[in-house]
Structure formats: structure tokens, C-alpha cells
Amino acid sequence: MAEFKANDNPELELCASNFLTDIIDEDIAAGFDREIHTRFPPEPNGYLHIGSAKAIFINASIARKYGGKFNLRYDDTNPEKEDTEYVNSILEDLLWLGAEPTGGVFYGSDYFDKCCEYAVRLIKDGKAYVCDLSPDEIREYRGTLTAPGRNSPYRDRSVEENLALFEQMKNGEFEDGSRTLRAKIDMSSGNLNMRDPIIYRICKEHHHRQGDKWAIYPLYDFAHPIQDAIEGITHSLCSLEFENHRPLYDWVINNIDFDEKPKQREFARLNVTYTVMSKRYLRHLVETGAVDGWDDPRMPTLCGLRRRGYTPSSIFKFVKNAGIAKANSLVEIESLEHFIRDELNQTALRRYAVLDPVKVVITNYPEGKVEYFDVSNNPNDENAGTRKIAFTRELYIEREDFMEEPVPKFFRLKPGGEVRLAGAYIIKCGEIVKDDNGSIVEIHAEADLETANNMPADGRKIKGTIHWVSCTVNHRADVMEYDRLFTEPNLMDLPEDTTYNDYLNPESVKVYKDAVMEESLKYAKPGEKFQFIRKGYFCKDTKNVNTFNSIVGLRDTFKKEVGNG
């Protein structure tokens, strides 16, 4: 296990009352006197995503609210897709978010012996049996929502035969899929999960922790309540798709007869526009090369968001604002962008960067002269101080900041027009130099040298201000400008004849090679965040040493609504 240090995330201290805390309050009022104990049980078969952040926040913040404990437990009961890479990444993400597992780090696989012991107990009690039906036959016998199921022909095997067969399953004497162990409950139940569910399967796969010890593995619905009970979990808080599984959860707890019984309660998942939460599909994107790994800044994974420049506090603010409820909803991605933008507006240092440069020559400025102007590091933080920007005869400005045939109300540089170079002089456009193809390669301008960060002496009004970078004193780096990974906002309900692939955005990333930026950015540290003046918020990439990633733009269109977090 890799070693990571937990961040301090003050948002975990601010868990407002919600229907889950109401349940706990009612339990306490009714005499419940155990220490509140929650858990987060991810399967280590991929990286955590923004949806995981909601489950983490709920379980960690509620444990903290009541002075209790919060466990991380890896649900590693399915060895086919699990890997230590994912194990390490999950703990790293939790600690990055500030959700330290104060109750400990556990593995479902460490309870395999106890699960097997309890399965044998159920067999001896006549509550479980070995079934020879194939997976297809089990589905056929199961019935439908409107038709009851049929008993398996193997349902009435004797205890002795079931014990012997289960021992043979455990010893690897049968082929994968040839037999299962099923709970004997009720094939006519209105809840399909209670129609003799499978609790053990044969699977001769190497396990990342247990090696080749086991030829059988418990299913989640059987293993999870056992794990909760053993760890002393008081409130097993999980997403809404497990609501129909709750009767089975309680059946396992009651029929194994634990003295202290955990209580399962469910909340709505976090669904976000333009975002896919399926780890299976996210794995597909990685394996097919559609993205640059699990931490691609376009991915909704926590490691992708971290590489993109999002912060733990902005993510938990987003989760809290989305609310904790039982009704499913679709939350706007603009909400997440609002919270990181709001935070960076206060904390990010300002820098000049020109992504698509065109040269401007100040014809009345001396060749070889370098002049330095003091500019603010952050106008919202008086303690951020100032820095010096080099001004020279030849500068770069953004190509979009010049228009040869300007549209109405275009207040940037245009033929014969004046504009303020941010923090420096006012310049007036003169000659335009083009290449043989008619493309502009150089703009000549004259500076009003009396306006070094001052207003014109004659009182004339200059409406436009643009940023700039010296042609000779600068730093060059690549800039990755990201857009939505998908073109469809609601990916929860797609037409039957389409897949996620049909909505991948072919223009989700734009690369600016050798963008020109002020010299100070040469010394930016990986992960350090900046506002590129007039462009947006960017951070130094943590993998590519000479690359900056876009975090979010400057414009905020999200109307904030207070959620119940």
C-alpha cells in the first residue's frame, strides 16, 4: 500500500442536516447509544469519479458530525477486474479529498474465511443450497416482475449433500459456472432479489491479495452485510440502486444472527450533465485510447479532475450544493465549474499568456530597451503583492484581439484605433504587414509614451484593454484547452439505437503549441494554478513538464442555488 497524507478539507466540517442525519437523530432519540460508524466500500476495478465524491462526502462528513468513525473498505470480492493500481488510487483520492478513513482501511477479501463459515452455517440451518442450474436457467426459473419464480430442482437437497458439494466447490473440483450456492428464501417474492439469490460462485481467478487460495467468491449482497457487521458499522449509507437489495441485506444480518446489526439506508446518486459515471465505460475510453489514461483532464475521475486543477474544497462544495436526497436528479456541470471558478478568483495568481500570437512592433520604442512594469498578482488579495513584466519594442498579442474589418462595438485593436496594453502604454494601430497568402504577420503601432500605466493627458477615453507578452523576454509552453468530453447533456437516457460513443466530442481538446507567456511561468510548479488574464484559469500539468491545462473559463453562467448538504 502506497503512503499518502490526508489533506485538510474544511467542507467536511459543514454537513448540514438532511434526511440521513434525521434517521440517525431518530435512532439516538430512541435509545441508540453506539458510536456512529460509516464506511465507503468501493470496488478496486477502476478509478473513483465525481459521483464517488458524493458517497465519500456523505459517509465521512456524517461520521465526523457525530464524532464517530469512517472506514474505507475495498469491495474486492470480484477478482477478474481488480488490481493494486486501483487500490492505491482509491486511498490517494480519499486522502486528497480530506476524507481520512479514521476507522481504518479494510479489505472485503480479508473476511472470506468468515463469509465461508457463515455460508456453511446457512447450509446447516437449511437456508442455503447448492444449485446446478446454469446462469441462463437460473434467469428462466427466476420469473418476472409479474410472474413468480419456480423452485430449482436442486432446492431440496439434503444438508449433507449441500455441505459436501459446497466443500468440493471450495476445493476447485467443479468448473466455473457449473454450480452456485443460493440462499433459500422465497421464489414467489415480489422482490426479485429475494428469489433464492446466489451468494457464492465458482471463479478460479487469481486474486490481487488472496492469490490462488480461493476457487469460490461470495457475491456482494452476501458479503457486504457480513463485512458491515464485523466492522461494527452502524449505518450502511449507500446509493439508491441498493434500495431493493435492502431486504436481502437484512435477511443475511438476521439469519446469521449478529448481536449488533447495521442499518442500510439509501440516497440518490450524483448525476451530472455531459458526464458518464460508468466505470466500465470509462475503462473502455482508456483501453481504446480515446483519452490519455484515467487521469486525462477531460475525464470525470477524481484523478482527472485533480490533474485538471480542481480542488477538494470545490468538489465538496459542489456535492453539498447538489443536495442529499432520495430523488434522482441531473445536476448541471456548470455548478461544479462555478465553485472552482469562485475559489480560484480569490486564490489564483494572475499571469499574462498569449495562446494564438501575432506580433506587434512599437515603432517609436527604442530597439533593445527592456522596461519593467509592476502589475498586480491578484486584485482580490491585497497580500498577493505585485510582479514585474518585461516590455520591449516587439510584443505578442492574441490574434483575436485585432480585427482588420472590425464589427460594431469591437473595442480592441483595429486600424487607426487605440487600445490599452494592460499595465503599460496606450498604443495606436498603424501599418499592417501580411505574408504572400494574405495572413497578418505583423502589426505596427505607436505608443503614447506618456501613458505608462496612466490615463492620457488630454483626457481621451480608451475603451479597450488587451494583454501582451514580450517577444524576447518570455516563456514558451504548450496549452491544452479542454471542452466537454461529450456533446449530449443528459447521458442517462439515450435513444435505444445509440451508445455513449455516438456522443463523444471530437473537439474536446484544443492544443496551442508554444504559446507565449510571461517569463515567471517558467518557474511554475506542477499543479500550481493561475488566471491567464482575459483567458481563464489554468494549471501546470503534473505529467508533462512544459504544459498548462485549462481548468475553467472566466465567464460564470451558473445561478447558484443552496442545496441541502
- Positions marked catalytic: 43, 269, 279
CA distances from 406 to 52, 413, 417 (A): 48, 9, 10
Instruction: Judge whether 183 and 197 are in contact, CB under 8 Å.
Output: yes
Of the candidates 391, 361, 397, the residue with the CA atom closest to the CA atom of residue 452? 391
- Residues making up the chain, counted from first to last: 565
CA dist 81 and 83 (Å) reads: 7
Instruction: Judge whether 54 and 266 are in contact, CB under 8 Å.
Output: no
CA distances from 468 to 353, 465, 477, 524 (A): 7, 10, 16, 19
Instruction: Judge whether 109 and 212 are in contact, CB under 8 Å.
Output: no
SS3 state of residue 331: strand
What 8-state DSSP symbol labels residue 402?
B
* Cell matching residue 478: 504548450
* Cell matching residue 454: 496612466
Of the candidates 125, 103, 119, the residue with the CA atom closest to the CA atom of residue 223? 119
Instruction: Please report the beta strands in 363-495, taking only residues with DSSP state E, as ranges in sequence order.
Output: 371-376, 386-391, 394-398, 418-421, 426-434, 440-448, 465-466, 469-470, 475-482
Neighbours of 238 (CB within 10 A): 22
Give the DSSP per-residue string, 433-444. Answer: EE-TTS-EEEEE
- HSE-CB at 35 with a 13 A cutoff on CA atoms is 11
Secondary structure tally for the chain: helices H, strands E: 12, 27
Query: At CB < 8 A and 24+ separation, what contacts does 497-502 make?
Result: 500/276, 500/278, 500/281
Instruction: Judge whether 74 and 93 are in contact, CB under 8 Å.
Output: no
Burial class (CB in 10 A: 0-12, 13-18, 19+), 535: buried
* Cell matching residue 40: 465507503
Neighbours of 220 (CB within 10 A): 18
Give one word for 132, left, alpha or beta, with left for phi > 0 and alpha for psi -120 to 50. Answer: alpha
CA dist 515 and 350 (Å) reads: 16
φ and ψ of 201, to 5 deg: -130, 155
What 8-state DSSP symbol labels residue 282?
H
| Residues near 84 by beta carbon (within 8 Å), at least 6 away in sequence | 44, 208
